[in-house]
Amino acid sequence: MSRDLVTIKGGKGGFRLLVDSSASMEEIEAEIKKKLDENPGFFPEGTKFELEVADLDRSVKKGINQILNQRGLGVELSVKKDPPPTIDEQSQMPPQYFIQHDGNVEAQEMTVVEHTVRGGEEVTSQGSVLVMGNVNPGAQIIAGGSIDVRGTCRGMVHAGAWGDISAVVIADRLMPTQIRIANMIARSPDIMEKSDFAERAYIKDGQIIIEPIER
């Protein structure tokens, strides 16, 4: 199994960027761009990143700073290694990300659900939602921002619930009972063709489009 050269994790102050210090700058740049392009709805302009890595070369830190700044993303290049949060801390302290509106930085909540969402459960967030598991039939995810399911999505998902038409829904396998983005509604066909890729749903030309993407 190939190692992850770059990992993006939710943190209390925004996102943490973990980089393999043995990787070349070219590898790091390609991996950062790939991860940002895979989930554009999760990293709007003004999103704040904290670099978390030990023994990182100065030129590499400068290169990472340039890559993120080119996309209008905020960077804190403090090298920091905190102990991993406990399960209770992860469930009680949802991470924050920052969106910039006309020069003002506004904090919004991003909820990370580190388990499968079962039938009858509902997850609601003013910001985005990241599910580290499946969304089962009968479960509901309602987000003011985007929704990313690191598993199979079979429940009802509503991204951009308060009118954000730029929100997206991403899942390793996207087959929800109903999908909503802002005021648009779509349903999965009764027979779904299995995809070898993750899928992304977004609004284009007044309708919800679903397309394959690479994680």
Residue-wise over 51-81: b if at least 16 C-beta within 10 A, else e?
A: bbbeebeeebbebbbebbeeeebbbebeeee
User: In this predicted structure, what is the pLDDT of residue 48?
Assistant: 72
Bridge partners for 49 per DSSP: 15, 75
**Whose CA is closest to 37, among 8, 78, 12?**
8
Q: Tell me the two tokens of residue 51.
A: 């670099």
Q: Give the pLDDT confidence score for residue 49 in this predicted structure.
A: 76
What is the number of residues in the chain? Answer: 215
Q: For the chain, list the domains and their CATH numbers.
A: 1-108 (3.30.750.50), 115-213 (2.160.20.70)
- How does 113-142 read in b/e, with b if 16+ C-beta sit within 10 Å? beebbeeebebebebbbbbeebbbeebbbb
Place of tokens 């609004």: 203
Q: State residue 109's pLDDT score.
A: 59
pLDDT score at 53: 54
Question: Which segments in the chain show pLDDT lower than 70?
Answer: 1-3, 9-14, 39-41, 44, 52-55, 74-109, 188-195, 215
User: What per-residue confidence (pLDDT) applies to 162?
Assistant: 87
Tell me what pLDDT residue 14 has.
60
What is the pLDDT, as a whole number, of residue 102?
35
pTM: 0.56
The predicted pLDDT at position 140 comes to 95
Kind of pairing, strands 122-125 and 96-101?
A: unpaired
Residue 75: the pLDDT is 67
pLDDT tens digits for range 80-96: 444 444 434 344 344 44
Is residue 167 within 8 A of residue 151, CB to CB? The reply is no
What dihedral do alpha carbons 169, 146, 135, 194 form, nearest 10°? 20
